[in-house]
Amino acid sequence: MKSRIRPSGRYEGLIIGVLFLCAVVSVLTTAGIIITLLRETIGFFREVSILEFITETRWTPLFDPKHFGILPLITGTLMITAGAALVALPVGTATALYLSEYASDGVRRLLKPLLEVLAGIPTVVYGYFALTLVTPAIRSLFPETNIFNAAGAAIVVGIMIIPMVSSLSEDAMTAVPRSLREAAFALGATRREVSTGVVLPAALSGISASYILAVSRAIGETMIVTLAAGATPRLTLNPLESIQTMTAYIVQVSLGDTPFGSIEYRTLFAVGMGLFTLTFTLNIAGALITRRYREVYQ
Amino acid sequence: MSSTSNQVLGADGLNLWYGTHHVLKGITLGITRHRVTALIGPSGCGKSSFLRCFNRMNELIPESRVEGRIHFNGRDINDPEVDATEVRHRIGMVFQKPNPFPKSIFDNVAFGPRVNGYRGDLGELVETSLRRAALWDEVHDRLGQSALALSGGQQQRLCIARALAVEPEVLLMDEPCSALDPASTAKIEDLIGELKERYSIIIVTHNMQQAARVSDQTAFLLEGEIVEYGRTGGIFTRPEDPRTEDYITGRFG
């Protein structure tokens, strides 16, 4: 053993510096994104009033007469998100509950990797799945359904985010101490009562975190809605109609030959800012909810 | 062993396996009504596993297998027609570490009655249970608070109240004081003395003094078998088996 004193001061300082830089990179990236968004958005609002942006019910920036009301894009996005949540939250939670409380080890070992596969499918494949399988199925039930419609896209976005809900929720449920389950069983509770009366509430903070993440993912989902939901910004709550989401609009404009610095170009950033605000608010709400329901058990 | 009126529980040729591990080897033993019966023995002797046979908790462990009979008021609880939840409703359990639910104090006590479809006045039942567990005076003004805010000793008494709230006949206690400080332990021991007027109690303990203090009957287990069973006074002053004497005098275990 060498008894030499290591030059810990400078070496440690270097390590700390490198780690600090790594941490700073993501902060700077976020800051950069916000600044870019803000600058172009401010440029946009020099030409279009904020009032028109949030109250006008038509969104037609690419052809005359131009209207700049973001509401149709927001309702489109929210309709997809609500539909996806309607599919993914119950199915995902039930799946998690089954895996954590009911499934035998063998079934769990088989089912979990299969679910993870769902998460690995490219979203463009999901998009075609919506177009070629789900939409025809909907049209056989409701013949008036448009080829491009919100319902099909929403269902498939929901399917896509099921593993997110189920896997995170299952982690939260598995983390509930065995001793709590035993306590409930010892009081004469059935397996269902243990699941819904003890495990579910004790895991609520983790489960709601998984919901928030999944919903954020649905809001930001782009490929499926671009392929299957249409490109018709429309203020509607009818899921069988063609709509456009904020993300799909951004794709549409990015693909076209929109001149740099034009008003059409700037709508990209205004819509992006709207999307950012939406997910940001959701994440804050999520953090608050999670903190409210956090349970500490020894 | 047939059940007599003063015998509430009895094991008859009881064998238990965890996988291939033979934990309990042909145990036959009767538990007297309204007495405290202590199960003592070194770690791994099977005393906790034995305790968990009385409310069929071993069923929750995959790969466990039980053979033999457990009589409860003359009925075999291992009979496939007997519902495990009904057994657990009538034979309550308190665990080694306090395990309150992350719910309010009230909801902890009310959990059992609720799942068992209790139809009476829940508030009254919660109060009675907390009083019997000697916790009412400390918590009556904050029943809505989280049970996790209580001290370890209070949590354990809450767990006792929770077990009492389903109005069991028997209370199984698995080393209920092992995670508690001496003052809390003394409170629980006093409580056990009061509770035996209403309930029959089986307590697993590592602590010889505790067994001597609280129990009327003591069974000494070694490697899954009953070595000696009898009145606590007798076991601790004149053990018949040399292995019992070695254990209680601290020569092993």
Number of domains present in the structure of chain A: 1
Q: Is A131 left (phi over 0), alpha (psi -120 to 50) or beta?
A: alpha
What's the whole-number mean pLDDT along residues A207-223?
92
Is A1 among the domain residues? no
CB contact under 8 A, B115 and A190: yes
Query: What is the CA A79 to chain-centroid distance, rounded?
Result: 13
Q: Mean of the pLDDT values across residues A274-293?
A: 84
Give the Cβ contact number of residue A2 at 10 Å.
Answer: 5
| Each residue's pLDDT tens digit, B57-94 | 999 888 899 999 999 998 999 988 999 999 999 999 99
Domain membership of residue A6 (yes or no) is: no
B147: chain A residues, CB-CB within 8 Å: none
Spatial CA neighbour of A53 closest among A277, A254, A219, A248: A277
Residue A246's Cα: distance from chain center in Å? 13
Between CA B33 and CA B205 the distance in angstroms is: 19
- In sign, the C-alpha dihedral spanning A27, A28, A33, A38 is positive
Q: Give me the pLDDT at residue B223, please.
A: 92
CA distance B14 to B27: 5
Q: Which position has the token pair 């419609």?
A: A149
ipTM of the complex: 0.93
Is B1 a member of any domain? no
Domain containing residue B79: CATH number: 3.40.50.300
Q: How far is CA A291 from CA A167, A181, A211, B157, in A?
A: 20, 23, 14, 29
Q: Which residues in chain B have Cβ-Cβ distances shorter than 8 Å to A188?
A: 85-86, 88-89, 112, 115-116, 166
Token pair 């908790």 is found at B57
Interchain pair B62, A198: CB under 8 A: no
The pair of three-digit structure tokens given for residue B79, joined into one six-digit string = 């009979």
Which ranges of chain A does DSSP label H, i.e. alpha helix?
Answer: 8-47, 50-55, 71-97, 105-120, 123-129, 135-141, 150-174, 178-186, 191-194, 200-202, 204-220, 223-228, 246-255, 263-293
Give the integer Cα–Cα distance in Å for A290 and B96. 30
Q: Which residues of chain B have pLDDT under 70?
A: 1-5, 252-253
Instruction: Indicate the average pLDDT of chain A.
Output: 90
Q: What pLDDT, on the 0 to 100 scale, is given for residue A63?
A: 82
pLDDT in tens, A225-257: 999 998 889 998 999 999 999 999 999 988 877
Flag whether residue A19 sits within 8 Å of chain B, measured between CB atoms: no
> Considering only alpha carbons, which residue of chain B is nearest residue A192?
B115
Let me know the angle formed at the C-alpha of B82 by B74 and B61, rounded to the nearest 5 degrees.
Answer: 110
Give Cα B79 to chain centroid, integer Å: 21
Q: Domain limits at B175?
A: 7-248
- The CATH number of the domain holding residue A280 is 1.10.3720.10
A285-296 tens-digit pLDDT: 888 877 776 655
Contact call for A186 and B57, based on CB within 8 A: yes
What is the total count of domains within chain B? Answer: 1
Encode pLDDT of A104-149 as tens digits: 889 999 998 888 888 889 999 999 999 999 999 999 999 999 999 9
* Beta pairing partners, B228: B220
Q: Which residues constitute the domain of residue A209?
A: 71-293
User: Does a structural domain hold residue B162?
Assistant: yes
pLDDT of residue A260: 83
Q: Which of B85, B93, B95 sits opposite A189 (nearest CB)?
A: B85
DSSP one-letter code for A66: P
A165: in domain = yes
Q: What is the pLDDT of residue A298?
A: 41
Decide if A257 is inside a domain: yes
Q: Do B95 and A177 touch (CB under 8 A)?
A: no
